[in-house]
Amino acid sequence: MTAQTWHYGLIAKWWAEFNDDFRPHEIPYFQRYIERGQPALDVACGTGRLLLPYLRAGLDVDGCDVSADMVALCREKAEREGLSPTLWAQPMHELDPPRTYKTIFVCGAFGLGSTREQDFEALRRFRDDLEPGGTLLLDVEVPYADAELWRYWLKDERGSLPQGASRPKSLSPASDGTELGLRSRVVDFDPLAQRVTYEMHAEQWRDGAQEAEEDHVLSINLYFKNELLMMLEQAGFTDVVVEGDHNDAPPTNDDDFIVFVARIAP
C-alpha cells in the first residue's frame, strides 16, 4: 500500500493560501527544540507552515512531505522570500534523507494515509536518521478530542455513515483572484482497527463561476497514548516523555493533542 493524502491539487493550494495561522502555538514549541539541536527535519512539512518561520529565523531545517504538490508550493513560497531549503517528496515509511539530524519533528501528520505497519516502519527510520543523542518530536490528536468523531465508536451511530455529501459552506479569496472552498465528511469508521476515513471536497470559483472541483479520500490511524509509547520503545527509543498540548507540561485528560518527546542514547 502506498501512503495517500488528500493534500493534492486544489486542497494543496488551499493549504498554501490559508493554513499558516493554524495552531500558531506549535511553532515556538518545536522551535525551542530545534534551537538546541540542529540540523532538523520537518517530516510532513506541507506548504511550510512551520518550516518557513524556522528558515526565517536562520535555523538549519530540511523538509519532506508525501505530497509533491505540497512540496512544490512550499518551495515557491520559500523562493519568494529568498530562501532555498532542501525539500523532497517522500512518505514517512520510506524516509531516506540526505543527512542525519539532531532533531526530527512530525506535527499533525503521523498515521495519515498509512497502515500501522508503515507507521512503525516510519518510527524505525526516524530512529535510524537521528544522530546519537538526537530527539524525535511527534504529536497526535487524541481519539476522543473530536466529539463528532467520538460518537462513531458506538455501533448504533456508525449505522449513519457515510455522512451526507454537501457543498462548501463558504468560499475564501485566494491570491490569484479565485475563491476556494473545502468540505470534509466522515465516510467510514472502524473501531477495531482504530481507523477513520474522510472525504474532502474542494471547489475553485472565479467571478461567480465554478472553475474546478476535486474529491480526495484520506484514512487516518487513531492512536492512544500507550500504544504509541510501546511502538516507540520497540522502534529503539529508550527515553520517551509524553507532554501536553505543545506546552512543556505533563499531559492531562483535557489535552486534545499530546506530544511524544523521544530520545536516543548519546
Is residue 167 within 8 Å of residue 203, measured between CB atoms? yes
- Cell 456508525 belongs to 158
- pLDDT band (50, 70, 90) for residue 247: very high
Average pLDDT, the chain: 95
205-214: per-residue pLDDT in tens?
999 999 999 9
128-143 mean pLDDT: 97
- Cell 476535486 belongs to 214
- pLDDT band (50, 70, 90) for residue 20: confident
191-204 mean pLDDT: 96
Set of cell numbers at residue 170: 463558504
- pLDDT band (50, 70, 90) for residue 48: very high
Report the pLDDT value the prediction gives residue 3, as an integer from 0 to 100: 44
pLDDT exceeds cutoff 90 at 115: yes
Dihedral of the alpha carbons of 220, 200, 156, 253, in degrees to the nearest 10: 50
218-230 mean pLDDT: 97
pLDDT exceeds cutoff 90 at 102: yes
Set of cell numbers at residue 30: 518545536
Q: How many angstroms separate the Cα of 182 from the Cα of each of 105, 112, 135, 162, 202?
A: 27, 18, 35, 18, 5
Helical segments of 144-259, H only: 147-150, 155-158, 225-234
57-86: per-residue pLDDT in tens?
999 999 999 999 999 999 999 999 999 999
266 CB burial (10 A radius; 0-12, 13-18, 19+): exposed
- pLDDT band (50, 70, 90) for residue 49: very high
pLDDT exceeds cutoff 80 at 1: no
> Model's pTM, two decimal places?
0.95
pLDDT > 90: what percent of the chain?
95
Is residue 122 within 8 Å of residue 99, measured between CB atoms? no
Report the pLDDT value the prediction gives residue 2, as an integer from 0 to 100: 44
- pLDDT band (50, 70, 90) for residue 241: very high
- pLDDT band (50, 70, 90) for residue 6: confident
- pLDDT band (50, 70, 90) for residue 7: confident
Report the pLDDT value the prediction gives residue 4, as an integer from 0 to 100: 59
